[in-house]
């Protein structure tokens, strides 16, 4: 009976169409080929920190970000980049469950102290209207459900429509995000985890983290599916 049920629940692998193990979205081979994040700066998640050290990178030493730590499951590389693009631009909402599931598993394995609340990076209302959903909210929903952490859907707003960070030259990204967010209410004494799909330069989450700090947040972490 159990075997029959397992068979019913098996899907084909999202990436190669081979049969995936029961309850999984990817076959074992594809799962193992995913570009897992390697050694990285614990503060900003930038790849390439010396193996086995906890030392923050030079950039974080020179300009400490407004957030305390970054956790990323993957590098922003194939095929994870494609999965995220499908979620974001092609309406493949079910991928938020897959990617959010990987993020939740990763966080459980790290055994970090869990925050009081999850805050998905908000989209500006014009982009939300155009896309119809916020992929970060969908990912955060899944993580919150699996780790039993409440979600704050209304706590922050994007008050300025900004150009996508990935389309801008590096030196313009910080300026692009300045004043982009507004936080409602108090986060006094709260430990918050900002949830996003991809972190590129970190300026987006930094702008949001600054707002949270100014509104009393005690600790701000960044949880992302992939780090570019
Ligand atoms: Zn596969
Ligand atoms: Zn760093």
What stretches of 111-169 show up as alpha helix (H) in DSSP? 125-131, 135-147
pLDDT at 176: 79
- In Å, what is the CA distance from 135 to each residue of 10, 20, 21, 23, 94? 25, 25, 26, 22, 10
Residues 6+ apart with CB under 8 A from 49: 39, 40, 41, 42, 55, 56, 57
Cβ–Cβ under 8 Å, residues 52 and 196 = no
Averaged pLDDT, 162-173 = 78
133 or 168, greater pLDDT = 133
How far does residue 157's CA lie from ligand 1's centre (Å)? 38
pLDDT digits (tens, 9 = 90+) for 130-163: 999 999 999 999 999 999 999 999 889 998 887 7
pLDDT digits (tens, 9 = 90+) for 25-59: 999 999 999 999 998 999 999 988 654 556 899 99
For residue 113, pLDDT over 60 is answered with yes
Residue 120 bridge partners (DSSP): 195
164 or 223, greater pLDDT = 223
Axis crossing angle, helix 95-110 with helix 80-89, rounded to the nearest 10: 130
How far does residue 33's CA lie from ligand 1's centre (Å)? 9
pLDDT digits (tens, 9 = 90+) for 195-216: 999 999 899 999 999 999 999 9
pLDDT digits (tens, 9 = 90+) for 118-127: 999 999 999 9
For residue 3, pLDDT over 70 is answered with no
Q: Pseudo-torsion of CA 88, 86, 204, 121, nearest 10°?
A: 50
pLDDT at 1: 47
For residue 99, pLDDT over 90 is answered with yes
What count of other Cβ atoms lies within 10 Å of the Cβ of residue 155? Answer: 21
Q: Is 212 helix (H, G, I), strand (E, B) or coil?
A: helix
In what helix (H) or strand (E) does residue 175 lie, and over which residues does it extend?
helix 170-177
Averaged pLDDT, 67-86 = 96
Q: What's the whole-number average pLDDT of the chain?
A: 90
CA distance 99 to 226: 9
Residue 170: both structure tokens together: 């590096």
Neighbours of ion ligand 2 (CB under 5 A): 41, 43-44, 46, 57, 60
CA distance 35 to 101: 16
pLDDT at 169: 82
How far does residue 64's CA lie from ligand 2's centre (Å)? 8
What percentage of the chain reaches a pLDDT higher than 90?
Answer: 76
């Amino acid at each position: 009976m159990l075997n029959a049920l397992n068979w019913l629940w098996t899907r084909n692998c999202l990436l190669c169409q081979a049969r995936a193990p029961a309850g999984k979205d990817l076959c074992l081979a594809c799962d193992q080929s995913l570009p897992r994040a390697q050694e990285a700066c614990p503060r900003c998640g930038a790849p390439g920190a010396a193996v086995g050290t906890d030392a923050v990178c030079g950039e974080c030493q020179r300009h400490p970000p407004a957030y305390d730590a970054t956790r990323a499951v993957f590098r922003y590389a194939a095929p994870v980049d494609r999965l995220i693009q499908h979620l974001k631009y092609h309406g493949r909402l079910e991928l938020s469950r897959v990617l959010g599931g990987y993020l939740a598993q990763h966080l459980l394995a790290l055994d970090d102290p869990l925050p009081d609340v999850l805050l998905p990076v908000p989209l500006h209302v014009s982009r939300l209207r155009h896309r119809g959903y916020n992929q970060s909210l969908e990912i955060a929903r899944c993580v919150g459900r699996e780790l039993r952490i409440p979600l704050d859907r209304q706590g922050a707003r994007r008050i300025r429509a900004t150009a996508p960070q990935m389309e801008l030259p590096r030196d313009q990204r910080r300026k692009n995000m300045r004043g982009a967010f507004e936080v409602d209410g108090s986060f006094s004494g709260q430990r918050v985890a900002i949830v996003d799909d991809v972190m590129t330069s970190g300026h987006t989450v930094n702008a949001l983290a600054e707002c949270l700090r100014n509104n009393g947040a005690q600790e701000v972490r960044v949880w992302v599916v992939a780090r570019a």
